[in-house]
Amino acid sequence: MCRLCDLARTGAHDPAAADNSGVSAGSGISDGTGSLKMANTSWPGRTRQPMPAGVGTDGRRTLIRGGAVMSMDPRVGDFATGDVLLEGNRILEVGPSIDAGDAAIIDARGKIVMPGFIDTHHHQFETVLRSFLTDGILVPDGQPHSALNYYETILQKFSMVYRPEDVYINEVYGGLSQLDAGVTTVMDVSQIHHSPEHSDSVIRALHDTGRRAVFGYFEGWGDDARYPQDARRIREQHFSSDDQLLSMIMGGEIYLPGYEESWKIGRELNLPIALHVVGTFGMQPTFDELARAGQFGPDNIFIHMTGMSDMAWQKAADAGAHVSLSVPIEMTMRHGLPPMQKALDLGMQPSLSSDVECTMTADMFTQMRSALTYQRSFVNDRALAGEDNLPALLTARDAIRFATIEGAKGLKLDHKTGSLTPGKEADVILLDATALNVAPLNHVPGAVVSLMERNNVETVLVAGAIRKWQGELLGHDVEGLRRKIEDSRDYIFKAAGIEQDLFRT
């Protein structure tokens, strides 16, 4: 294949393929004679630049210059062309034009500059099982489509055979995949604490991935499991300081016997308490009891929140609890219809979460589009039925807000991240708005939610440090990690006694 055709096919940006006139190879158009004529269509922001040195280190100033800046902080505002000045790991200033002296420069022309995405609920230990359960549902219902289901197949078979080394590679690989897609913060719901060694493997992997993460200490199984009592050791050993990228949340699943102890320990350790709240599991009576007893608080994160009573919803809202929604998962896995409008009607601003990659991708573009489309279809259907006094239609900015600052609030991290606010740590992503699937740029929030995909994430910074630069993830041997996760997959399938069948029906 010719070099020009190869560049057009791959979309590669190769400075060596440009001539002295600045015409980029791969930007050919017809001259009307059937031959290929080169046109100068290379946007200045698309040319590759060397990665500046020292970004994110103490005292080093870095200017992200000339991008379309969407701060997600109404006090800061947005700028069609703006700058973001960093010093060390923090945001120093955001404005239309900043004089930063000898600061390192990141050229953001042609880019959307915004805070990194925040996923408030992701089971990263299941990365090895990607797409396995696409056609399955949450719990068995006696029908053929539930022969493989989440509770029995994923939790009670696959997860039981994980070794600590399987936990580590799943956590690292899944975390890097999200980092590559611009998710700079995650709550990892790691229901894989079969031993203290399993727990320590999760934490080591979260650290080694290099992004902001909340360690969700949920249950484990087997004779060596130490949940929930091991929370005290874990808190003291790994989370004694708040000045780090990692923090901790206590899992408090009310479908498990003895959940009262996990809630007690979580509050004793001053940890937020997160739990899945799903009507399919028959949780409503217990949830109602907790609501009536005044057990809800602003430290609660309720995931899914499907099938619950109006009374419990009101108690959750009154208590200032947070709701994390996984809209596409809730719809396809039979959790129940996503209670997006219920939350909004009660003044609760939800966050978005990817949940399980055994069923669906963990990028936030999918989550934002799904949330926006679902709520608008719900309201539009009522409008077409002739109803009055309808709820407001969600906007693209609302969806981005759920995927950024509302997630930070839910995880108690909004003092550190979630918006481009001076004083916060610099979790920043640059999205390519000159790409074939986006240009020409007409509406920044609309482009992010309705047009973009993970391949538009060009550069990612976490606490000021560059983790992805112009399309390339830094600091990890991705090919070597892929081989390791494939080895882990082969072991887990064999140990669980489940056949590897790429085309099963």
Q: How far is CA 165 from CA 61, 141, 161, 192, 371, in A?
A: 39, 34, 11, 12, 35
State how far the Cα of 315 lies from the Cα of 304, in Å rounded to an integer: 16
Region of residue 358 (left: phi > 0; alpha: psi -120 to 50; beta: else): alpha
pLDDT at 415: 98
| Of 352, 424, 423, 361, the residue nearest 394 (C-alpha) | 352
Please check whether residue 231 is in contact with residue 265, taking contact to mean a CB–CB distance below 8 angstroms.
Answer: yes
Return the pLDDT at 281.
81
Pseudo-torsion of CA 19, 21, 27, 31, nearest 10°?
-110
Over the chain (505 residues), the average pLDDT of each successive run of 10 is 35 34 34 36 59 95 98 98 98 96 96 99 98 96 93 96 98 98 98 98 98 97 96 97 96 95 98 95 93 98 98 98 98 97 98 98 98 98 97 98 98 98 98 98 98 98 98 97 98 97 90
How far apart are the C-alpha atoms of 433 and 12, rounded to whole Å? 16
Q: What is the largest CA-CA distance in the chain?
A: 79
By the 8 A CB rule, do 146 and 139 touch?
A: yes
What angle in degrees, to the nearest 10, is found between the helix axes of 231-238 and 196-209?
30
Kindly report whether the global pTM for this prediction surpasses the value 0.75.
yes
Please give the helix or strand (H or E) that residue 302 lies within, else none: strand 300-306
Return all residues near 236 (Cβ < 8 A) that are at least 6 apart.
Answer: none
**Rounded distance between C-alpha atoms, residue 425 and residue 243, angstroms:** 11
150 three-state secondary structure: helix
Count of residues in the chain: 505
Round to whole Å and give the CA distance between 252 and 321: 14
**CA 406, CA 349: separation in Å to the nearest integer?**
7
**How distant, in Å, are the alpha carbons of 340, 345, 381, 390 from that of 387?**
19, 16, 9, 7
What is the Cα–Cα distance from 68 to 113, expressed in whole angstroms?
Answer: 6
Cα Rg, the chain, nearest whole Å: 24
Q: What is the pLDDT of residue 280?
A: 82
